[in-house]
Amino acid sequence: MTVFILRRLMQTLLVLAATSLLVFFGLYVIGDPVEILVNPVADEVEKARARAALGLDKPIIEQYWVFLKGAVTGELGTSFVFGRPAMEVILERMPATLELAFLAMVMAVALGVPLGLYAGLRPNSWPAKTIMAASIVGFSLPTFWVGLLLILVFAVQLGWLPSTGRGPTQEVLGLQISILHWEGLKYALLPALNLALFKLSLIIRLTRAQVREQSLLDYIKFARAKGLPRHRVIGVHLLKNILIPLITVIGLELGSVIAFAVVTETIFAWPGMGKLVIDSIFQLDRPVVVAYLMMIVFMFILINLVVDLAYSALDPRVRLAEHR
């Protein structure tokens, strides 16, 4: 176990170093942020001064070295655009993204597991077929286009829900949260639904596939033969066994929801991390882009680790140290 975690940490450092190198040098080659940031009528002297102030006049190797030295102490540079530490700018936007992702995942799981269970238990009934057909459509719908349709229907045509921005927030445990009040929640509903649709389809399909595979196995037959009531066979025996792959996927998908929020936040002008990073890419705000990617890469490695550990705790057949 300890060896496993240590090895993972080594890999984490490798991946972080590789990502930072790629993004750092890549963005350096793409263009000069000063050309975008300074006043268009600025002369060369002013541009040179701006470059020096941002530390961009030094050779790229030296800039990377400065970045690395900072990164070791948790300092990921100062945003060119905001003039504040990049991490601070990102953390400020984080609660908005997290609450959106959380709401979306709750929607997807609360609907997806029961629907998938039904479709798997009665695969030939017409509601099951409808669910499956709908899930294929949900799978095929590009997220950003669904977002546009949601805006068109619920905001433009019906006028029920607002389509852009985030509602009023309140402070909960030091975080700015908006979804606890209807005033704020109504801003979050459309983007969260948009984000949830793809995951909903995925969870339905996964649950159904698992139910179909598992219900053919001997332990289910045995439980039935013992005369256990149907709800116990399904609720305890079956559900427990389909839960293992489901938890893996839900855990992994939580991360991908946060990553995919990039798209949804752009469409709904939701002031989260995703929108920040897209804006930063266009403004060549390298410190913010690098810091965001470092953080999200780290988050993913952490999620993967937790899922692997949870997996081994839930399923005694999985031995971590052996297969890695």
**Which of 2, 29, 158, 159 touches another protein by CB under 8 A?**
29
Residues 279-318 interacting with another protein (rule: CB under 8 A): 281-282, 289, 293, 296-297, 300-301, 304
Question: In the complex with another protein, which residue's Cβ is closer, 213 or 315?
Answer: 213
Residues between 159 and 178 that touch another protein (CB under 8 A) = 163
**Span from 182-190, 222-230, 233-241, 255-263 in contact with another protein (CB under 8 A):** 255-263
| Number of residues binding to another protein, judged by CB under 8 A | 47
The piece of 116-124, 136-144, 239-247, 309-317 that touches another protein (CB under 8 A) is: 136-144
Q: Does 68 bind another protein (CB under 8 A)?
A: no
Q: Which two tokens stand for residue 156?
A: 């433009």
Nearer to another protein, 137 or 172 (CB): 137
Does the protein bind another protein through residue 320 (CB under 8 A)? no
For residue 271, the 8-state DSSP code is -
Maximum Cα–Cα distance across the chain = 87
Integer Cα distance of 251 and 247 in angstroms: 6
Which residue pairs, CB below 8 angstroms and at least 24 apart, start in 309-317? 310/247, 310/248, 310/251, 311/244, 311/247, 311/248, 314/243, 314/244, 314/247, 315/244
Residues 266-285 that bind another protein (CB under 8 A): 266-267, 277-278, 281-282
In the three-class reduction of DSSP (H, G, I as helix; E, B as strand; rest coil), residue 16 is classed as helix
Rounded Cα distance, 101 and 272, in Å = 11
Q: Would you count residue 263 as binding another protein (CB under 8 A)?
A: yes
Q: For the chain, count helices (H), then strands (E).
A: 14, 2
Report yes or no: 183 and 226 within 8 Å, Cβ to Cβ.
no
User: What is residue 176's three-state secondary structure?
Assistant: strand
Q: Which is nearer to another protein, 23 or 96 (CB)?
A: 23
139 is a site residue for another protein (CB under 8 A): yes
Q: Which of 34, 86, 98, 151 binds another protein (CB under 8 A)?
A: 151
Residue 292 buriedness (CB in 10 A; 0-12 / 13-18 / 19+): buried
Amino acid at position 233, single letter: V
140: contact with another protein by CB under 8 A: yes
Q: Does the protein bind another protein through residue 148 (CB under 8 A)?
A: yes
Q: Nearest CA to 248 among 156, 313, 183, 158?
A: 313
Report the interface residues with another protein, using CB under 8 A: 11, 15, 19, 22-23, 26-27, 29-30, 133, 136-137, 139-145, 148-149, 151-152, 155-156, 163, 213, 252, 255-256, 259-260, 262-263, 266-267, 277-278, 281-282, 289, 293, 296-297, 300-301, 304
